């Protein structure tokens, strides 16, 4: 049985009508690009193969432009879509990186109702049919001065708590957006999205002229490639030292730390408990989507093992 390369819905070999609408304004764009992977700079390729920088820095991004049903590389122009091929580097299973990011993004929206940018898998025209991740560019005004200022200050953030304080200055309706941030933080932890606070939070301007958190993007289970202990995000919740008992006792964050974080950024305890609980009760849906994903069988098993380990940590309240 074939499945949609966007939402995994059984039936279409390319994209279902809903994914075509979200990704391509309803146009019948093929899941197979009319060109091979872009050539890579030899020096850059060697550095990425020999060195071990953080996974987000390994993932190359190219701009695509949609013209009716056709997609083409747009060079330095912003384009309508972002294309991310298989990265090069000294990590495991990098050929699965596009499928990993695609699955993690779909889990965010389908299993946990986190808004994400429209995304899917797409394939190059070469002998192996190499996969890539494609996402729709969500910013209609990429030169918005308020967004640019937020992004510049955001780069200096050293914790999610810093990000929340920054949001208070730029977002008038802060409290519901604080809950969105909290849900994204829990999700990033649950699915081992290392380095997330430096890459997948931004602002988007509404039709009324105010600002909200943008749909999430660049979400990937980094531990599938780097190993569970290569990068340590355990201290990135709070500004300053971590003093909570759970972290000091176990050496990693538990449900206790996330509830404390929610309190620090102004979320009511009952709301925080309900949001956190929702992330510990969805294993059936998670397992189903992992099964439908385009990961190979080994990576599917590892992906679920990583998820279950983090889920069990979130269940600790002491």
Q: Looking at residues 12-41, what average pLDDT do you find? A: 91
Residue 235 predicted with pLDDT over 70: no
Measuring CA to CA, which residue among 127, 137, 136 is closest to residue 37? 127
Residue 307 predicted with pLDDT over 60: yes
Residue 215 predicted with pLDDT over 90: yes
DSSP string of the chain? --B-TTT--BS-SS--HHHHHHHHTT----SB-SS-PPP--HHHHHHHHHS---HHHH---EEEEEETTEEEE-TTS--SEEEEE---SSSTTGGGHHHHHHHHHHIIIIIH---B--EEEEE-SSTT--EEEEEE---S-TT-HHHHHHHHHHTT--SHHHHHHHHHHH-SSHHHHHHHHHHHHHHHHHTT-TTGGGTS--EEE-TTS-EEEPPB-----THHHH-TTSS--TT-SSSS----HHHHHHSS--HHHHHHHHHHTT--HHHHHHHHHHTTS-HHHHHHHHHHSSS-HHHHHHHHHHHHHHHHHHT---
Measuring CA to CA, which residue among 89, 92, 83, 93 is closest to residue 132? 83
Q: Find how far residue 268's CA is from the centre of its chain.
A: 26
Segment of 65-79, 100-114, 127-141, 212-226 carrying the highest mean pLDDT: 100-114
Instruction: Quote the pLDDT of residue 229.
Output: 64
Contacts of 317 (CB under 8 A, 6+ apart): 254, 255, 256, 259
Residue 245 predicted with pLDDT over 90: no
Measure the CA–CA gap between 74 and 87, rounded to whole angstroms.
20
Domains and CATH numbers, the chain: 17-136 (no CATH), 145-314 (1.10.1070.20)
Instruction: Quote the pLDDT of residue 169.
Output: 95
Q: Looking at residues 298-313, what average pLDDT do you find? A: 96
Contacts of 208 (CB under 8 A, 6+ apart): none
Measuring CA to CA, which residue among 213, 216, 194 is closest to residue 57? 194
Average pLDDT over the chain reads 87
Better pLDDT: 141 or 253: 253
Q: Find how far residue 242's CA is from the centre of its chain.
A: 25
Instruction: Quote the pLDDT of residue 194.
Output: 74
Instruction: Quote the pLDDT of residue 315.
Output: 93
Instruction: Quote the pLDDT of residue 41.
Output: 64
Residue 12 predicted with pLDDT over 80: no
194-226 burial: b if 16+ Cβ within 10 Å, else e: bbbbbbbbbbbbeeeeebbbbbbbbbbbbbbbb
Instruction: Quote the pLDDT of residue 175.
Output: 96
Q: pLDDT digit string (tens) for 187-205?
A: 999 999 876 555 678 898 8
pTM: 0.92
Instruction: Quote the pLDDT of residue 304.
Output: 98
Instruction: Quote the pLDDT of residue 178.
Output: 97
Strands 203-205 and 70-73: unpaired
Q: pLDDT digit string (tens) for 29-76?
A: 999 999 999 887 655 555 555 555 567 667 889 999 999 999 999 988
Tally of residues, the chain: 318
Instruction: Quote the pLDDT of residue 129.
Output: 87
Q: Looking at residues 18-33, what average pLDDT do you find? A: 96
pLDDT band at 145; cut points 50, 70, 90: confident
Instruction: Quote the pLDDT of residue 76.
Output: 80
Better pLDDT: 139 or 280: 280
Instruction: Quote the pLDDT of residue 251.
Output: 76
Q: Looking at residues 236-249, what average pLDDT do you find? A: 67
Mean pLDDT lowest among 129-133, 141-145, 169-173: 141-145
Measure the CA–CA gap between 29 and 65, rounded to whole angstroms.
12
Are the C-beta atoms of residues 62 and 73 closer than 8 Å to each other? yes
Q: Find how far residue 61's CA is from the centre of its chain.
A: 14
């Amino acid at each position: 049985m074939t499945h949609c390369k966007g939402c995994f819905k059984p039936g279409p070999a390319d994209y279902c009508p809903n994914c075509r609408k979200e990704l391509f304004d309803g146009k019948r764009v093929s899941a197979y690009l009319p060109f091979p992977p872009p050539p890579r700079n030899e020096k850059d390729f060697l550095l990425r193969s020999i060195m071990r920088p953080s996974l987000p820095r390994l993932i190359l991004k190219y701009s695509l432009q949609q013209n009716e049903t056709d997609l083409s590389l747009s060079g330095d122009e912003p384009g309508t879509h972002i294309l991310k091929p298989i990265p090069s580097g000294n990590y495991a299973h990098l050929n699965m990186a596009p499928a990993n990011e695609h699955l993690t993004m779909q889990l965010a929206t389908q299993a946990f109702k986190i808004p994400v940018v429209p995304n899917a898998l797409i394939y190059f025209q070469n002998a192996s049919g190499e996969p890539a991740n494609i996402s729709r560019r969500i910013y209609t005004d990429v030169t918005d001065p308020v967004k640019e200022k937020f992004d510049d200050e955001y780069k200096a953030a050293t914790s999610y708590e810093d990000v929340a304080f920054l949001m208070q200055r730029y977002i008038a309706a802060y409290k519901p957006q604080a809950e969105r941030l909290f849900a994204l933080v829990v999700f990033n932890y649950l699915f081992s999205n290392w380095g997330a606070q430096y890459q997948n939070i931004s602002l988007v301007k509404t039709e009324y002229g105010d600002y909200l958190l943008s749909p999430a993007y660049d979400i990937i289970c980094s531990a599938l490639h780097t190993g569970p202990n290569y990068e340590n995000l355990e201290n990135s919740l709070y500004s300053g030292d971590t003093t909570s008992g759970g972290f000091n006792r176990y050496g990693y964050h538990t449900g206790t730390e996330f509830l404390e974080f929610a309190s620090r950024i102004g979320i009511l305890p009952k709301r925080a408990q309900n949001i956190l609980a929702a992330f510990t009760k969805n294993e059936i849906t998670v397992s189903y989507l992992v099964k439908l994903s385009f990961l190979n069988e080994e990576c599917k098993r590892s992906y679920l093992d990583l998820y279950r380990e983090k889920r069990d940590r979130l269940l600790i309240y002491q």
